A and B are shown apart, each in its own frame.
Chain A
Amino acid sequence: MTRTGLVRTGLAGAILLLLGGSALAQVFVEPFVPPAGSDSATYYADNAARIDELAGQVRSGSPESRRTAFDELATAFPDAALSLALDLINDPDMAVPAARLLADSVVMTNHQVDHDTMPEIGHLIMARIEAAKVALLTLLDRPDDTLRRIAAGTLASLGDRRALDALDRKAKEGEVSDVEAINYFALATPEVGSSYISPYLKQGEGAAQESAVAYLSALPAYQGQIRDEILLNNEAKEAVRIAAAQSLGQYDRNFGDYAVTMAIDGTNLPPSLYTAVVSAYTKTAIEQKTLDPATVDRLIDSIERVQKEAPGFQIQLDELGNRLQNLKVQ
């Protein structure tokens, strides 16, 4: 993928002429070779000796001294450090700092680069972003959690489809947990992330379904599905139904329309789900000021009935009942 600076003799500028034949010529690789004739090339050429020295220290020595040299290289001569980082991510002692530098170099770059700003280098900036992303992509296959987290978090935040597809595949193959994958998918834009997360409404471990419900309930396009296929579905897992009640109560503007029916008539609901529905409904209705006295009375009656049938939920339901009683007083 990358070629050394020496190969780019067609663009020979001050830096390559100066560096040709030195070890330093092997430091810079495309697309991190400073453009010929640029201020950048002059700067690197002026500091060739120090770059050469630091690059040597990065390549050998104790892990600590190598990292110190890399830190200095990255700070003073980022093009050189980024060039080396493309290889250092394969070096057990240097992979983490190399990955962090690559990740830092692409932060927020999903904001489309305006080529008009500086036509001479716009394409080069894009090429550098892509090179860093490609290097980070390779880290998704590493067993090292730190490396995978750096790469996955960065690329998912940028909405990189290649990374999201890879994570999707790894989740299916059991290499990463469903919940971890969902957490990464959620970093992308809703349009992108939801397409990866929505299958988990019907599949995967319970915790993954709960995460999917929590995420997708905020998106109007999925609220009807979550309501009908999970919250109102007696076949769905109870914990997932509870997650649906809590999330829809927070995000679905129409939650009160069906939740009040569940709360008043739903004494056949599992007590924990009943409690979640009444709690979410009460909270929403109080905030939206949609509770009328008749509904309050019916809810209190309903709570009292459930309390008799499920004494284990006495405390939580007492609290809800008291809240509603206070509303009547007000």
Chain B
Amino acid sequence: MGVLARVAVAATLLTPVLANAQSIEVEVRNSASADDDYFCWTPVEARVRALNSMQPMQVTIAADAQAGGGGLVFQGLGATRPTAATFQPVQTLSLTLPQDSSWVPFWVAGSAASVGAKDVSIVVTDEANAAPPASLPVMVRVRKDARTLTQPEIDTFLSALRTLHDVDGGAVASRFVKYASAHAQAFNIGIHHATDPGFWPLFLAWHRAFLLSLERELQAIDKRVALPYWRFDQPDPGGIGGAPRIFNRNFMGSISGGALQAGGFRVTFAPTNPLFGWNVPGLGALVRTADATGGTMPANRLQTILDLVENTTGPDQGAYKLLNGRVELRYHNGAHGAVGGWLGQGYSPADPLFFLLHANTDRAWAVWQHANPDRFVSTLPKSYHAQGAYPGPAQPGRFRMGSYLDDVMWPWSGLQGDQGTPDRLDDWPSLPEPFPATLVDGVTPSPKSTVDYLDVLGAGTALDACYDDLAYPH
């Protein structure tokens, strides 16, 4: 409910004179809760209505933005969800609100990223000035280049990580540790080795869902959090005097001055850093072998991969099947190896840097999709080569169950152990702690659900995660 609208309602109860005052209500995601007023580039449903109006009210919808903060755009279209083909955003939207207090739908999307808070508002103004304007603060929450985060944004992210780390995880040491545990167990059931000769399909899709699961948990702690990404193909200066921005004791830590320990050098954090003393039972204190401040590969590596995937001859030209393996081997592996320590092991998500590394890996997939919009269409083999559902044991050379487009992936499927069939490829690792069954409301973690992450096809399955430099295509 809008702030001013709430004031109007409260005033109705207290001041008879204002009992019939005209007012405007505006909501995002068709809910009065302020907790869901966070979105990114994908248009989300919103609605507005006039209360106590004796006649239809003509209103203007626009953003009240601060310089350098979030920005918004709007679209009418009624209840029809926009797609990349139909999205035609405007800065200012005019609508007519009926006098019967019924809601009028519209669509709102971010056009510029917020800076760590609800710093932009949807403002609805009665063109006749009979009703006070309604204003609803929102946050355009997107994943940003970690080098560009403000210190408050860094602190918000790190505090949420620490909170998650400190929450009892039941069968595992903490809610955070369950991610390292699940990754280690899933390591060899198809989520890696995406390159030749197997072309196992899950690498990008599985890790996209994995990132989203963690991001949702962090957002349950603090709604303002979006995962930053580490451009491991670029240097990390950016700080005062060109000091590292990411490999810094106030952010992701540094091995500078860190003692030698099992697996590498202890990562040191400033005492005020929420990650100070980062420790995982069974592993001890966080270690790495290097601060990768100079980047871990040539800056043009990603573009080289994208070009080659598009230009390769044959039926796999421009296909996810190639991209998936090339990104793993030629882009992501080198970053894991360059940092080393925990990040060079199967339990690598125990190092929070894993999620920044993989956000950038996931961004690589997104960059490719944005350059080739048909790759958002999951049912095209170019977008995901293991089409359909698990074919069963009669199919030679098949991938493991959970790898196919329509399968639910492990661990979100909740399956574990021997499924009681002679088929070895429908068996699963143990799952000490469950993962949520959905990535967002109604979206089950299948490879299919990860492909159109922005919902450019308008199916209502946006994953509510965007990158700062990859706008909603239209």
Contact = CB atoms under 8 A, between A and B. Distances in A.
A247 B259 contact: yes
A183 B289 CA distance: 9
Nearest to B337: A107
Interface stretch (B143-151, B155-163, B181-189): B181-189
B279 to A, nearest CB: 11
Nearest to A154: B337
Nearest to B259: A214
A76 B312 contact: yes
A108 B336 contact: yes
Nearest to A158: B344
B197 A79 contact: yes
A118 B187 contact: no
A75 B330 contact: yes
A113 interface: yes
Given A117-B190, A118-B400, A189-B262, A40 B333 contact: no
Interface stretch (A4-12, A119-127, A232-240, A305-313): A119-127
A232 to B, nearest CB: 21
Given A78-B196, A117-B189, A186-B263, A153 B330 contact: no
B400 A78 contact: no
A47 B346 contact: no
A47 B314 contact: yes
A201 B263 CA distance: 19
Contact of B336 (A43, A75, A107, A215): A107
B329 A124 contact: no
A75 B326 contact: yes
A16 B400 CA distance: 29
A46 B301 CA distance: 24
A31 to B, nearest CB: 10
B289 A107 contact: no
Contact of A35 (B190, B197, B259): B197
Contacts of B74: none
Interface residues of A, number: 55
A78 B262 contact: no
A22 B142 CA distance: 51
Interface stretch (A85-93, A97-105, A168-176, A319-327): A97-105
Chain A interface secondary structure, helix, strand, loop or mixed?
helix
Given A43-B196, A107-B333, A118 B399 contact: yes
B313 interface: yes
A229 B191 CA distance: 48
A204 interface: no
A111 B189 contact: no
Interface in B366-409: 396-397, 399-400
A118 B263 CA distance: 30
Contacts of B305: 75
B337 A40 contact: no
14 contacts: A40-B199, A41-B197, A50-B312, A104-B334, A107-B344, A117-B425, A118-B397, A157-B337, A186-B260, A186-B261, A187-B289, A214-B260, A215-B261, A218-B261
Given A76-B309, A78-B325, A103-B337, 17 more contacts: A39-B321, A40-B197, A43-B312, A79-B197, A104-B330, A104-B337, A107-B336, A108-B192, A111-B346, A118-B198, A120-B397, A121-B197, A186-B260, A187-B341, A193-B262, A214-B260, A218-B261
Q: Can you list the 9 inter-chain pairs with the closest CB atoms, starting with the nearest?
A: A46-B314, A111-B346, A114-B188, A40-B197, A76-B308, A190-B262, A40-B196, A104-B333, A107-B337
